Amino acid sequence: MGLEQIKTRIAAAEAASGRDPGSVRLIAVSKVQPPERVESVLQAGQRIFGENYVQEAQGKWPDWRERFEGVELHMIGPLQSNKARAAVGLFDAIHTLDRISLARKLAQQIAEQGRSPQLFIQVNTGDEPQKAGILADELPGFLASCRGLGLDPKGLMCIPPETGDPLPHFRLLRRLARENGLQNLSMGMSADFESAIAEGATHVRVGSAIFGARDYG
């Protein structure tokens, strides 16, 4: 695989579903990848990256941001409340707003730091007990609570169950976004980003298909 092939496949998927060219944003998921792989993708012009761990991102990105103009960082992993300060300071978007206690912390940090990462609400579309995210039924109430805190989430994010067809999950997320007046849909990973694009994804999160397999060693 690699960056160029993925960009070509995204463009083809946009065209196939009548989407405007460039309407899908590619988030290159660089968690635990060796620095030289990330650096070569930066050299190739990619600027939007996703990370799962605040501490890892804090260690890697300040340097790259100095060397490469226009880097945009997206937090796509579960966010602990005690990392809210660091996350608001570092990230341009947070895809994993999944509970009211975190919403409170983020609102507080956004006010304090005068920095406003774009927010996505994570939805547990598969109703999986072990997975983070708001249940579909709870979304309207949660959104209202977020707005009450002064937050203005602009989109939804999901991670479909590991097995089975992701399509119904993409469809559910799209319907929820439409019903709740939200523009952005963060869905689709290496294995399924094309079907996510067909269902309206605005942000796809692709890691291993760009960088190669992750080695958690």
Ligand X SMILES: *Cc1c(COP(=O)(O)O)cnc(C)c1O
Residue of the chain from 76, 136, 151, 177 that contacts ligand X (CB under 6 A)? 76
Strands (E), 43-92: 48-51, 72-75
Taking CB under 6 A as the criterion, the residue among 3, 29, 119, 121 binding ligand X is 29
Choose one: 15-23, 84-92, 140-148, 200-208; the region binding ligand X (CB under 6 A): 200-208
Contact 24, 204 (CB under 8 A): yes
* 204 near ligand X, rule: CB under 6 A: no
Nearest to 83 by CA among 59, 53, 112: 53
| Spatial distance between the Cα atoms of 32 and 186, rounded to a whole number of angstroms | 21
When binding is defined by CB under 6 A, the residue of 3, 79, 151, 159 that contacts ligand X is 159
10 touches ligand X by CB under 6 A:
no
According to CB under 6 A, which one of 19, 74, 169, 205 is a site residue for ligand X?
Answer: 205
| One residue of 189, 196, 197, 201 binding ligand X per CB under 6 A | 189
Q: What is the DSSP letter of 3?
A: H
Q: Considering the rule CB under 6 A, would residue 187 count as an interface residue with ligand X?
A: no
When the beta carbons of 177 and 189 are compared against ligand X, the nearer one is: 189
Which pair of tokens denotes residue 32?
């635990």
Report if residue 97 touches ligand X, rule: CB under 6 A.
no
Query: If binding means CB under 6 A, how many residues of this protein chain bind ligand X?
Result: 13
- What DSSP string describes 156-198? EE----SSS-SHHHHHHHHHHHHHTT--EEE---TTTHHHHHH
* Number of neighbouring beta carbons within 10 Å of residue 90: 20
Is 118 or 145 the residue whose CB approaches ligand X more closely? 118
Stretch of 86-94, 143-151, 167-175, 201-209 contacting ligand X, by CB under 6 A? 201-209
Task: Answer yes or no whether residue 33 interacts with ligand X by CB under 6 A.
Answer: no
Cβ-count burial 120-144 (b if 16+ within 10 Å, e if not): bbbbbbbeeeebbbbebeebeebbe
Residue numbers at the binding site for ligand X (CB under 6 A): 29, 31, 52, 76-77, 159, 189-190, 205-209
